[in-house]
Structure 1
Amino acid sequence: MKTIGVLTSGGDAPGMNAAIRAVVRTAIYNKVRVLGIKRGFNGLIRGEIEEMDVASVGEIIHRGGTILHTARCEEFKTEEGLKKAYNIIKIFGIDGIIVIGGDGSFRGARDLSKFGVPVVGIPGTIDNDIACTDFTIGFDTAVNTVLDALNKIRDTVTSHERVNIIEVMGRNAGDIALYAGLSGGAEDIIVPEIPFNVDNVCRILIEGKNRGKVSYILIVAEGTKNSFQLAKEVEEKTGLEVRVTVLGHIQRGGSPTAADRILASRMGAHAVKLLLSGKSNRVVAIRGSQIVDYDIDEALSMKKEFDHEMYELAKILSI
C-alpha cells in the first residue's frame, strides 16, 4: 500500500475535514502517499485528483463542510461509470480508497471493490442512520445546532404564548429530533419510527394549557407529516397560535463539536491502519467507546434500530 485516495461523498457533515486530516496525516506518518479526490465519485470519474501533504490539511479540523467538496453521481451507478473510475484509479496508481459518507456512498465503495480495489468506509452524515455504528460523524454537531435554535425559539414563543413546530433534518431517521427534543425539553417529538396522530398531539397541548403552560415546542423530523399541515390542524383543534420553523441546511454547517472532531480523528486513523494491514472492504464504526470495523456487505445489511427507551424517557420528562 503505497498510495491511498480519499474522498467525501453525499451530503456534507461537520467533522468530515477532521476525518480527512486524520487520514492524510496518519498515512504520511506511515510513509504512504495520499491523493485527495475532489467532488466524490464524480471527481473520481473525471480525474479531479491532487496530492495532499501535511500542510494541505492544516487549519481545517475546526471547519465545517469538506475541503474536498462533495457531489452525488448518477453515472457512478452504471457499469460504464465504474469502469471509468477504475481506469482513473489505475492511471494514478491508487492502491486503496477511503470513502467518507453515508450508506449511498458505501454502496458506491462496495461496487468499486468488485473491481478489486481495496476500500474502507467512514460514516459521515448528520442523520445518524448508519446501522453498524452508534454515532456518525456530524450528528453531534447537528444536534447541538438544533438545540441552540430551540433554546432561542423557546424565548420568543414564551413571550408570545405560542406553539412552535421545529422541523429538523434526518431523512427517514428520527435521531436528530429525538436527541435535540430530549435535551431541549420539547413537549412532543414526532419521528418516522413512531406512529402518531394529531389528536394525541393536541391533547398534550390542551392538558399543558390547563396546567398553566404558556408555550410549547414540538420537534418534527422531516420524514414525517408536513409541518405546515400539522400546524394548521393543531390550530383548528386547539385554538392555540402555531408557528413553524424549518431549520434546513443550517444543521449541516458550522464548526464541529469536540465530540465530532475526536470521533472523526479516531475513525480516519483507523481506516488508514486497516488498509495498511491488508484489510479492505470494511466500514469503520464506534460501539460504546471502541472503534471497530465491519465487512461492508454486513454493514449495509444491518437494520438501524431506533432508541425506543430514550423516546419513552423524553415522553415521561415532557409531562
Structure 2
Amino acid sequence: MKKAALAVVIPVLLASGAVQAGTIYQGEDGSTIDVYGRLAFNITDKGSEDVEGKFDARLGIGGSQTVNDTVSVIGWAEYQVGAAEFANNLNDEDELTARYVWAGIDGAEYGRLTGGRVASGLIMFTDIVDVFAASDIAIARQVGVVDATATQVFRQDGTVQYQNSFDYFDVSAAYIIGNNTSDLDTAYNLALRYTFNMGDAGKLAPVAIYQYDEGESGDEYYVWGIGASYYIGDVVLGVVYSEDEVEKVGVVDKSKDEVVEASIVYDLNDWWVLRAGYRWLENSGGDELELSDTTLEAQYRLTTRSSIFGSYVFRDGDNGTSAGYSGDADDDYFFLGLRYEY
C-alpha cells in the first residue's frame, strides 16, 4: 500500500483509536501489539438547562501478526464508557460499549479485508467536517431507523469491508450482513477519494459516498454525499453535501434529510488550533427537523497527545416534531473539555 500519498489526509484504513495507538510489543518478524486510551472530562450545558460534568473514556487494543512479507493478520477492539453517543444511552453508564471490534487480513499493496464492527470507509467523507470536540455532524442521522446497530455511517455490526489505495486514489467498499439484533436484510456502501497535489497551491481531496440499507421488514434507507478537503499552509477547509432518505413500509411519506456542513481549521502554532464551522439541515416528510448551527472552537495543546478545548455553538433551528438533535435545535450551548490520550 502506497501510504506516502495519504500523508495529507486522515488515515481511513485505521479510522479509529488505532491511528493514535502506541506499540507495546514488536516481534522480530514485525508482529505488534498496540494499545490506545482516551480519558476526558467535559463541562457543558448541551441538551440541558443546567451545566453538567460528563466523563468520556475509550480503551482499545489490537495489533498484527506477520504471515509473510506481504500478508499480516490484523485486529482491533475498542470500547467506551460514559461517551456521548446514542449507543451508551441503551446501557448502564458503567458498562462498556463496543465502538470497533474487527479482525482481518492486510495484504499490503493488495489491500485490506476486515470484518466485524469496522471503521467504515465512509469516514473519509465524514472526517471532512467532523473536526469539533463540542458538536456532532448530522450526516446520515436516519440510518438507525433501518439498522439499530448503526452509529450514523461510522460503524455498523456485521460489516465485511475491502479498502485499498492506488497512488492518490483511495477506495473502500463494504457489504453489511448485520446480526440478530439489527433486523437488517442487506446493505452495502462505497467511498471514493482522490487527492490532487497542486504544489504551492495546496492539496485538494474530493470524496464521494453512497450507502443503501434494507431491513427485514422492507424498510429502505440510502445516503449519498459529495465533499472535499482543501489543504493550504496551516489551514484546512472542508465542505460536504449529503442527502439521506428513509422509506418505511406502510408509510406514504419518505423522510428526507438534506445536509450542508462546512468547516475551517487553522493551526495557529504548536499550541493553538482554531476552528469554525456551519451546519445546515432540513428534513421533509419526516420529523421536519431544521438545523442552523455555527460552531466556534479553540484547542490548546498541553502535549502532543493531550489538549484543552473551549467551544460555543450558536443554534437557530427548529425541532419540528422531533426531540431535537444533540439538544434543542434553537438552544445555544458552550463546551469546555480536557482530553488525555495515550
Asked which structure has the greater RCO (Cα within 8 Å, sep 6+), the reply is 1
Q: TM-score, normalised by structure 2?
A: 0.21
Asked which structure has the greater CA Rg, the reply is 1
- The TM-score normalised by the length of structure 1 is 0.22
More helix, by proportion: 1
